[in-house]
Amino acid sequence: MAASSPQELAPFADVDGDQDTRPFSRESASRKKVSLACLACRRRRTKCDGGVPCVSCLSRNSECVKDENDDGRRKLVVKRRLEILEKDRHLLDDLLGALRVAGPNQMNALISKIRANADTQELKAFLKDGFTNIGADGDQDRRQQSYRRHRHMLGRIQDFVNPPLQVPARPWTTVTDDDDLVSHLMSLWFTWAHLWWHWVDEEEFIKAMQAGDTSSLICTPYLVNMILADACLLDTLADDGSEPNLELRQQFYNEGKKGLDDEEGHVSLAYVAALGVQWTYLNTNGQDQLGNMILYQQAMLVKSLAKWRAKMEKNPDMTRERLHAVDASLGRLEWTLYCLNLFVGLALEQVRIFQRPSREIPVDDPDRRNPCNEHGEWRPYPVPHTPIEWHPNCHYLSYVSLAAVITADEALYEEERTSNPQKMMSKFQRLFQKVKSWPETIPACMKMHEHAMPHIIALHALHSWVIITMSKQTASLEGDTEKPSLLTTAESPEKERWKDICIAESIRISGLLEMMRQIWGADHFPVIIIQPATIAAFTLLEDLETRHDSQQAFYKLCIILRAASRRFRVCRGVLRLLDKTSKDNNISLPSGCADLLAETNNAMQLDGESTRVDDLGLDYLLEKWDDLDLDEAF
């Protein structure tokens, strides 16, 4: 990245006309021949679409596994094989050298390591340390190793994992004493969830957790347990598609909830952060009504954190270093809550104007003039993958800038209450053009390209969702209706324009998420994509029978939601509602969609799960999505 690139995001440029903001088209890529079919399709001799899971395995609810090493046509695979062979050769040379010079005690220690099924990384670390600490206490030695023993996981991706984050189970939870399991779950959470919801400062939180100090202001047992419960939802599924950690997840949640109940009335940084994690957990479980109550409680309590911080500063035991760590964590929490409330308000069609946090946007580099000067790495843990260059500050600033658009939108709606709607139209239309040009204002490393990582794809899907929602709002103003609904908007050429924009952006969301499934798989993904996928599916359902491209996009979204439904209850509810809406309004679904939706209903009935729409926790759809009533045509 150029060193001269400014760190602050550029201001929105006024755009007079519509611009095509699609930075990447997936159409050509979707026609490429799949170079490697999954093992199940190869056994069945059926066509594989290349996704993980593929459509064929989804329809049969069977295990979907790819062995990338079988694809000899990929240069990356050949290169990886050569690297592995080279590393193995170096390890063999080191072992031979150690055997030639080792004393009796060292030789016994080395043989014991090998007989204990130590992995290659442990052997490398053991040899590198020169056989030191041979007589040290076993438990202490195990905790201090750079590489922990591999732990067998009941997953489809791989049999063994090495968590990138190493943290202890005790004293943080009584549910398990397995350090590897806790490290694995924490690694999952910071890989897939934390990048969107910064309830904690990662560096300070991990440092406090590794220290094992339960008196920490940043890391507490109830916060750790709530994160572990949320992380269980992100874990690799078992071979039969079931959740291997269901019982553990419930135990983690109960222990975290009990800690929150015990702390009720005592506002603290960890308490408010744990409420944020609880909101995420409840919403992905389809309990959005309860989750939004938690979010409202959190928004009220965050105002008291300034007093809590002042009280902590007066503590004679408070050091400058600890206070700095508290401030870093407070900054992450306040900005995350600020952005989240804006997005939730837009989803619920509610005007929620929150005061901008007084703290600066929390980025790691104090010199914020050059965000692309970062040198971070990201891996799609637990899937083995070469490190990807990652700029977390750029992602965070881009996410905040998208939230700033919503702030301007809601401020206009508040102004519109006391003004003539017709006079406000020009302001809304100018703002809408700024929203569409948002991709031009973000750093180059966050722009879409054909090899974009999941969190960049999700960022652009979120942008399209904002465009859809604001299009409905603007159309409702033109039609002089109370709520954003294209159905209740009077017929006009402008209404057709807004409808076309909504359909186009929904198709774009479908393409982005299909790209994510094909490249990165659908076993692990940012949970935030559920909202854009849901809204895009219902938008396409409104005009499904007249547009072929809408039918294809809708089918791809059903596949994404079906894959996610194996893990997240809210997606099962979305599919159930799509099925009910299409039947109630006699909408003919594309080929394959009806089967996917029927399979979801059957699976819910077999699991003893309610298939009543009002039991699915989809309040934001049932109460706020006016266009679900399709009695009238567009």
Residues 473, 612, single domain; the answer is yes
The last residue of one of the domains, among 294, 325, 347, is 347
pLDDT score of 465 more than 80:
yes
Q: Which of 277-281, 406-410, 571-575 has the lowest mean pLDDT?
A: 406-410
Domain, as residue range, for 107: 49-151
Question: Does 232 score more than 90 pLDDT?
Answer: yes
User: Could you tell me if 324 and 449 lie in one domain?
Assistant: no
- Rounded Cα distance, 213 and 153, in Å: 29
Average pLDDT, the chain: 76
Name residues whose C-beta falls within 8 Å of residue 522's C-beta, 6 or more positions apart in sequence: 51, 52, 53, 516, 560, 563, 564
Let me know whether 117 and 197 are in one domain: no
pLDDT band at 603 (very low <50, low <70, confident <90, very high): low
| Same domain, yes or no: 282 and 134 | no
Question: 336 or 104: which carries more pLDDT confidence?
Answer: 336
Q: Are residues 121 and 224 in the same domain?
A: no
Nearest 5°: the CA angle 527, 529, 535 is 130
Give me the DSSP letters along 496-511. Answer: HHHHHHHHHHHHHHHH
Q: Does pLDDT of 18 surpass 50?
A: no
Q: How many Å apart are CA 257 and CA 252, to the nearest integer?
A: 9
How sure is the predictor about 342, in pLDDT bands with cuts at 50, 70 and 90? confident
**Lowest pLDDT segment from 46-55, 296-305, 573-582:** 46-55
Residue with tokens 């003004």: 419
Q: What is the 3-state secondary structure of 531-582?
A: HHHHHHHHHHHCCHHHCHHHHHHHHHHHHHHHHHHCCCHHHHHHHHHHHHHH
Instruction: Tell me what the mean pLDDT of segment 453-467 comes to.
Output: 96
Q: Considering the domain boundaries, does residue 127 fall inside one? A: yes
pLDDT at 459 over 70: yes
Question: Does 599 reside within a domain?
Answer: yes
Question: Which tokens hold the place of 618?
Answer: 């989809």
Residue ending a domain, choose from 347, 363, 385: 347
Residue 161 phi, psi dihedral angles, 5° rounding: -135, 150
Give the pLDDT of residue 418.
60
pLDDT confidence band for 621 (50 / 70 / 90): very low
**Between residues 156 and 437, which one has the greater pLDDT?**
437
Q: How many domains does the structure of the chain reveal?
A: 3
Q: Is 415 among the domain residues?
A: no
Whether 139 and 194 share a structural domain: no
Residues 432, 569, single domain; the answer is yes
Residues 65 and 178 in one domain: no
Helices (H) and strands (E) in the chain, counts: 24, 4
pLDDT level of residue 76 (50, 70, 90 thresholds): low
* 596 & 462 share domain: yes
519 domain-assigned:
yes
Mean pLDDT for 503-529 is 92
Distance CA 330, CA 338 (A): 12
Residues 138, 178, single domain; the answer is no
Q: Which residue, 121, 151, 181, sits at the end of a domain?
A: 151
Amino acid of residue 10 = A
8 Å CB contact between 385 and 76: no
Which amino acid, one-letter code, is at 378? Answer: W
pLDDT score of 395 more than 80 = yes
Q: Per the domain annotation, does 117 fall within a domain?
A: yes
Predicted confidence (pLDDT) at residue 447 exceeds the cutoff of 50? yes
Q: Is residue 202 domain-resident?
A: yes
- Please indicate, yes or no, if residue 246 is contained in any of the structural domains: yes
Most confident among 362-376, 426-440, 444-458, 594-608 (mean pLDDT): 444-458
Same domain, 176 and 220: yes
Bond preceding residue 53 cis, omega within 30 of 0: yes
Asked if residues 218 and 270 have their Cβ atoms less than 8 Å apart, the reply is yes
Overall residue count recorded for the chain in this entry: 634
Supply φ then ψ for residue 553, to 5 degrees: -65, -40
Q: What is the CA radius of gyration of the chain?
A: 26
Contact 199, 362 (CB under 8 A): no
> Within this chain, do residues 214 and 137 fall inside the same structural domain, yes or no?
no
User: Residue 385 falls within a domain, yes or no?
Assistant: no
